[in-house]
Amino acid sequence: FIRPSTSPFAAPILFTPKKDGGLRMCTDYRALNRVTIKSRYPIPRTDELIDNLRGARYFSKIDLRGGYYQIRVFADDCHKTAFRTRYGSYEYTVMPFGLTNAPSTFQLTMNGVFRDLLDKCVIIYLDDNLIYSTTREQHLKDLEAVFQRLQQHRLITKGSKCEFLKQELEFLGHVISTEGIRIDPKKLRAIQEWKPPTNLQQLQSFLGFVNYKGTFYEWGEKQQAAFEALKKLLMSPSVLRIADPDRPFEVITDASDIAIGVVLMQDFGNGLQPIAYESRKMQSAERNYPVHDKEMLAIVHAFKIWRCYLTGADVTVRTDHKSLQYLRAQPNLNPRQICWLDYLESNFTYKITYKKGANNIADALSRPSAQLAAVLVAQSNPLLSGLFTHGYSTDPFFTF
């Protein structure tokens, strides 16, 4: 994979721990990527790929071991991949992670390998490879055709990550089954798992998230029914829009001391509309991160879970942590930050902008309900704002 090098190129490296206890090497190719001519080879539209699966009853997923490492670097370009270590400089002979054109090159290669099977029984989306068929007998034949091409091109699979002859599995954010195609329930988990409020603050948190405000608090059967109805409303097609791959995406992120929250949105001509919500608690180690890293963790998490939407799209990230706007220009990044940036730079086209926390819809997803008051998620005109101000000043409940 690598060999000693005397190249004038010398990207820095670092190691981060993997879940299995091993180490992952990350190479900081930011300088090389800035002067690289970007490949315009198209990444396929996920909605068109999913449409091909209608009527299929048997599915298999194949994972290639090492992914990008199975593609050779052109001999005259190997020196550009050089990286420095305490033992000297080395360069890759295979395509490393972190290069800006690696995803499009990988897509081009896989399309070439399976060209005669595409849209017939095979779907290729970067390193997500799916085989689909209407009958078990046909599926076995399709698998044989796929294996023949893998063998012909000397591509190696990772057995532990492959799935065969399934009638239901997850693919590109959807659950594919014999009954049809449905959105992955995990996309709606943040709302679905929202616990019923036990005090006024928790009630205000939920009502603020759905742009509603109540002043009278009583929790009974009617209130519980309304609470469940609001959750269903948020998850209904009229609120959660279907993503349009031809439109730019906005990712709104936030992090608290113990959790992160992210929202995926698009503008369909009448303002931003939500596509999906997501939140999760931080792991114990993540809770010790500095604020800057917690906020960046939320961004990376969003790109990982919504990768099938964001790859190849124009993405604007909105965060309430101002310094993240200048992330790409910061010279002294820690190992964790370099690995995160390496992942983002080599897979996505994005920009990071600042959005005040008070206007951040993801704020409600990143904080425990007991810490939250009402969250305002809609803009109002100046006249309405004036009426609110006057109302608060004359309301005895808000007078101190």
Report how far apart, in Å, the C-alpha atoms of 269 and of each of 140, 150, 273 are: 46, 45, 10
State the CATH architecture for 2-183. 2-Layer Sandwich (3.30)
Q: At what angle do helices 335-347 and 102-113 cross, to 10 degrees?
A: 50
CA distance 181 to 190: 21
Cα dist from 88 to 99, 137, 360, whole Å: 21, 54, 47
pLDDT one-digit tens code per residue, 353-397: 987 754 555 555 555 544 443 333 334 444 444 554 555 555 554
Q: How far apart are the first and last CA of the chain?
A: 69
Q: What's the number of CA atoms in the CB half-sphere (13 Å) around residue 285?
A: 4
pLDDT 10s digits, 25-35: 888 898 899 89
Residue 92: C-alpha distances to residues 36, 53, 168, 399 (Å): 17, 38, 39, 68
Q: Taking residues 225-235, what's their average pLDDT?
A: 68
Partners of 266 in the β-ladder: 273
Percent residues over pLDDT 90 in the chain: 32
Tens digits of residue pLDDT in 281-292: 888 889 999 998
Q: Where in the chain is the domain with CATH 3.30.70.270?
A: 2-183
- pLDDT at res. 82: 96
- Give the model's pLDDT for residue 93: 95
User: Going by C-beta distance under 8 Å and a sequence separation of 6 or more, which residues neighbour residue 304?
Assistant: none
Q: For residue 225, what pLDDT is reported?
A: 73
Higher pLDDT, 129 or 180: 129
Higher pLDDT, 11 or 202: 11
- Summarised one tens digit per residue, pLDDT across range 339-365 is 898 888 888 889 999 877 545 555 555
Domain 249-367 CATH superfamily = Ribonuclease H-like superfamily/Ribonuclease H (3.30.420.10)
Confidence of residue 215 (pLDDT cuts 50, 70, 90): very low
For CATH 3.30.420.10, the residue range(s) in the chain are 249-367
Residue-wise DSSP of 60-100: EEE-BTTGGGGSBPPGGGGGGG-EEETTEEEEESBPPTT-T
Tokens of 399: 């007078």
